[in-house]
């Protein structure tokens, strides 16, 4: 009997093979590229059929193995491709491959199997208490080192404008004299220009 599952959390398909006649099961973990790793062999009574289910609600796949001696063994998954020793639950002799289903509405997978020898059906209700799965959060440093922020130099204060210097009395007198001289020169130039125009009107030879 060959079934598939995901037993070590790497996202690859794994295989379980039950040997009959024999007393072992072999787990072949999926390898990169589509092959399988060497088998991990484990004792499992006289395995007939095998089913994969998360019976105890811990998020890891478990194995349900029918044993020809009249029992169903539950092998709890460890999450790394290995399984705990099987816990046997009596059923009729020579049970078929176990099947799972929620037969009493409690949200947990129950087991059912038929017995070839006794023409009976056995239903095993799940009494496991679901395991509370707490996600592992990353550990944050107590005092994280923050990046050093460079200290920028303060800008130099803007230069204040120099106050205007008030002219003194001497400056005022000097400016007035300069303005008076300029006005006098302007008047003289104007008078000269006027005389020149008058001479031109009288013509040459006029005194």
Mean pLDDT of the chain: 83
Q: Show the tokens assigned to 162.
A: 């120099």
Above pLDDT 90, what percent of the chain? 32
Residue pair 86/74 in contact by the 8 Å Cβ criterion:
yes
Q: Quick one: 1 exposed, middle or buried, by C-beta within 10 A (0-12, 13-18, 19+)?
A: middle
Tens of pLDDT, residue by residue over 65-114, are 988 888 999 999 999 999 999 899 998 888 888 899 999 999 999 989 99
- Structure token digits, residue 94: 């020579």
Of 91, 97, 95, the C-alpha closest to 124 is: 91
pLDDT, tens digit, for every residue of 146-179? 677 777 787 778 777 777 777 788 878 888 888 8
18 or 206, greater pLDDT: 18
Give the burial class of 193: count Cβ atoms within 10 A of its Cβ; 0-12 exposed, 13-18 middle, 19 or more buried.
Answer: exposed
pLDDT at 52 over 90: yes
pLDDT band at 195 (very low <50, low <70, confident <90, very high): confident
Q: Residue 201: what pLDDT? A: 73
Place of tokens 């046997």: 88
| Residue 115 scores a pLDDT above 70 | yes
Residue 34: what pLDDT? 84
Write down the pLDDT at residue 168.
81
- 131 CB neighbour count, 10 Å cutoff: 12
Q: What is the mean pLDDT of residues 1-6?
A: 88
Distance between CA atoms of residues 127 and 16, nearest Å: 25
Choose between 52 and 151: higher pLDDT: 52
Q: Sketch the domain layout of the chain as residue ranges.
A: 2-124, 166-200
Range picked from 11-15, 67-71, 136-140 for highest mean pLDDT: 11-15
Spatial CB neighbours of 163, under 8 Å, sequence gap ≥ 6:
none
**Is pLDDT above 60 for 136?**
no
Nearest partner of 28 among 58, 56, 50, judged by Cα: 50
**CA angle at 13 for the pair 10 and 14, rounded to the nearest 5°:** 95
For 26-45, what is the mean pLDDT? 90
pLDDT (0 to 100) of residue 16:
92
Determine the pLDDT at residue 135.
54
């Amino acid at each position: 009997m060959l079934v598939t599952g995901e037993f070590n959390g790497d996202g690859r398909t794994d295989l379980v093979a039950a040997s009959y006649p024999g007393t072992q099961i072999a787990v072949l973990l999926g390898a990169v590229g589509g092959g399988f790793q060497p088998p991990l062999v484990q004792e499992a009574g006289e395995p007939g059929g095998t089913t994969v289910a998360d019976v105890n609600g811990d998020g890891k796949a478990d194995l349900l193995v029918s044993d020809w001696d009249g029992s169903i063994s539950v092998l709890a998954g460890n999450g790394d491709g290995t399984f705990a020793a099987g816990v046997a639950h009596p059923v009729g002799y020579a049970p078929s491959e176990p099947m799972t289903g929620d037969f009493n509405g409690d949200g947990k997978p129950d087991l059912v199997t038929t017995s070839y020898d006794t023409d009976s059906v056995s239903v095993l209700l799940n009494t496991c208490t679901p395991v509370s799965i707490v996600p592992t959060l990353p550990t944050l440093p107590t005092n994280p080192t923050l990046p050093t922020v460079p200290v920028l130099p303060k800008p130099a204060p803007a230069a204040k404008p120099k106050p205007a210097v008030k002219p003194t009395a001497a400056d005022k007198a000097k400016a007035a004299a300069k303005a008076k001289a300029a006005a006098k020169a302007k008047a003289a130039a104007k008078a000269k220009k006027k005389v020149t125009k008058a001479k031109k009107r009288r013509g040459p030879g006029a005194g």
